[in-house]
Structure 1
Amino acid sequence: MGEKTMAMEAHEIESMIREALPDAEIRIEDLRGDGDHYAAYVVSPSFEGKNRVQQHQMVYAALQGKMGGDLHALALQTSTPE
């Protein structure tokens, strides 16, 4: 039998992002209620001067390789504070 990886919880995703970007405003939504498909909204002054790809790379780096493993799908929206 194949071993199912444990799904991540919203608070785990948020705390990993907060560790890397302590000044960020973070909102995580479980899109399907299955613990596998999340949307993350991250607003941080750290994104200033960076393009969207660089911003997303910062968030993915914070997730320490969990994407594709414990975390199957993450719809990511990043921005700097207004």
Structure 2
Amino acid sequence: MGLLAIRVHTTATLVRLLRNQAGSSGLLTSVGGVLDKQAVNVLSTTPPDAGFRYADVTSITQEYPTVPSEVGTTEKG
């Protein structure tokens, strides 16, 4: 089972659990890409007072230092 299928399955499972518990919330975390991106989903049976919110944090994360990956490099010699 691929990562996307696992995320879909866990989201559906959490939704089913939350529907049976009014007033409850749930948290899902996952990784994407080649394990270099993190995702967080917060689900609740109660809508937020301020309505739906979405935050693209791409620009914020690019402010942090990075370490070059050596995956896929080969040394000859």
Q: Same fold per TM (> 0.5)?
A: no
TM-score normalised by length of structure 2: 0.30
TM-score normalised by length of structure 1: 0.28
Structure scoring higher RCO (CA < 8 A, sep ≥ 6) equals 1
